[in-house]
Amino acid sequence: MRSPNSRGFDRASPYRGGQMTDFGGVSSANPFQLPAPRFIFMTTQVGAERALKAEMSRRFSEFRFAFSQPGFITYKVPPGRRYPEDFDPGLVFARSVGFSLGKIEGTAPEELAKRGADFVSLGSFDRLHVWQRDAHPPGYRGYEPGPTPEAALAEELLRNSLRARLGDGDFAQARPTRIGDLVLNCILLNERTWWFGYHRAKTVTSCWPGGLWKSPRVLDEGVISRAYFKLEEAVAWAALPLREGDPCLELGCAPGGAAQYLLDRGLHVVGVDPALVDERIASHGQFRHLRMRAHEVPHREVRRARWLFADMNVAPPVALRAMESIAAARNARIRGILLNLKLADWDQAEKIPQWLDRMRSWGFSSVRARQLHHHRQEICVAALRRSPVGTARNSRSQRRHLPRSTISPPG
Ligand SMILES: C[S@@+](CC[C@H](N)C(=O)[O-])C[C@H]1O[C@@H](n2cnc3c(N)ncnc32)[C@H](O)[C@@H]1O
């Protein structure tokens, strides 16, 4: 069932009940239209709020800060302005963005789920995303952001309530979100408070609940390190059109988590790192280890590489210099880059626009950054050429292989 509102506006709707605080009026001409949004919400890594607020004031100064908790921020939409349902400011530190519908409070998840289901009457939603606000900065006492059992339980209870109300239709099922779907969001702020919102999925990451990438693999099952998931998430976000057999260079490859992901994807990996690589990677037939520093990589290796990956524990200017010596070399045919940059402090976030400009100057047309949910105090930059360095004919054939999302970059 794609249109729950075909049964009309529910009397028990929180919108009617006046408990909600964040939205304007429903158009009387069309009572099933979503209310004019008055607030947007964003979720982010705990600790990154200041960087996110700085980004907002630099890029969207017309929005007024309204409310924040660690990992969760709301802004007032400029009065009289309408934004499309798929509004996505494309901010580096905003893991998810949506229009706010308001919050409900209760003492138990069952009670919250029953009342939360009332929100369904506010729009013709296609999908439901439920997730938990980050509890701590990543790494704090072993804490890792991501999908949680609490969010899974809340989602199950909400879906049960939705089924009771709407029947066993499409919206009540947990199905993957597609671009264009209208998504009802439920964010668990704490045990007693659930915040609701909505967005229309426009980008790859807005199809993931809370912008959280869920890997089909788990660490215990032979994955060498978290770097595996970090790169997997980065590739999915950037929609990199990797193909089996593609040659790549990986700078800072030890101990080998990221290389393991690339090898699983069938790539030929030349790993660069003075440190030792895990034996399972070192002995892989499609892996070669260059025990050296990034700036020492020989030209012939640069010439062969199609993709460039880097995750070195060095300051961003050092990492950029090393990347430049490879990506902007005369004989380079690098098609795309995923570069991890570690921020020594959050103030360095102000330099991100300059770093992106520098990478554009190497001939990459699509350059954008995101803090991934597998990140610590760091960001990932994805840079793609629309076409490889080469002939016009090559460029045309390349474009045919590019998914749309890579040509019009997702956020
Ligand atoms: C965060 S670890 C990389 C994790 C790795 N990508 C993985 O998947 O397991 C950072 C690595 O960068 C390496 N490194 C630091 N400076 C480097 C440089 N100038 N050239 C190459 N590697 C470097 C370090 O030796 C270290 O192994």
Domains of the chain: 4-211 (3.30.2130), 227-407 (3.40.50.150)
Q: What is the pLDDT along the chain (411 residues), one digit of tens a residue?
A: 333 332 222 222 333 322 333 433 333 333 346 777 899 999 999 999 999 999 999 999 999 999 999 999 999 999 988 889 999 899 999 999 999 999 999 999 999 999 998 887 777 899 999 999 999 999 999 999 999 999 999 999 999 998 888 777 777 778 899 999 999 999 999 999 999 999 999 999 999 999 999 888 877 788 999 999 999 999 999 999 999 999 999 999 999 999 999 999 999 999 999 999 999 999 999 999 999 999 999 999 999 999 999 999 999 999 999 999 999 888 889 999 999 999 999 999 999 999 999 999 999 999 999 999 999 999 999 999 976 554 333 333 333 333 333 222 333
Helix H or strand E segment including 196: strand 193-200
Atom 25, ligand 1: which residue's CA is nearest? 275
* The ligand 1 atom nearest the CA atom of 294: 20
Kindly tell me the sign of the dihedral angle through the C-alpha atoms of 236, 239, 242, 247.
negative
Q: Rounded distance, CA 29 to CA 129, Å?
A: 29
* The ligand 1 atom nearest the CA atom of 318: 19
Structure tokens at 240: 């990199």
Q: Rounded distance, CA 19 to CA 258, Å?
A: 47
User: Do 251 and 309 meet the contact criterion of CB atoms below 8 Å apart?
Assistant: yes
State in Å: Cα 334 to ligand 1 middle: 20
Place of tokens 């390190």: 225
Mutate to test the pocket of ligand 1, among 273, 297, 340 (most ligand atoms within 8 A of CB): 273
Binding-site residues, ligand 1, Cβ < 6 A: 225, 227, 251-258, 272-275, 293-294, 311-314, 322
Place of tokens 């640069």: 302
Kindly tell me the sign of the dihedral angle through the C-alpha atoms of 163, 164, 166, 167.
positive
Mutate to test the pocket of ligand 1, among 235, 312, 339 (most ligand atoms within 8 A of CB): 312
State in Å: Cα 314 to ligand 1 middle: 8
User: Do 355 and 316 meet the contact criterion of CB atoms below 8 Å apart?
Assistant: yes
Q: Rounded distance, CA 43 to CA 371, Å?
A: 12
What's the pTM value of the predicted model, to 2 decimals?
0.86
State in Å: Cα 215 to ligand 1 middle: 23
State in Å: Cα 348 to ligand 1 middle: 21
Q: Within a 13 Å sphere around the CA of 67, how many CA atoms are in the beta-carbon half?
A: 15
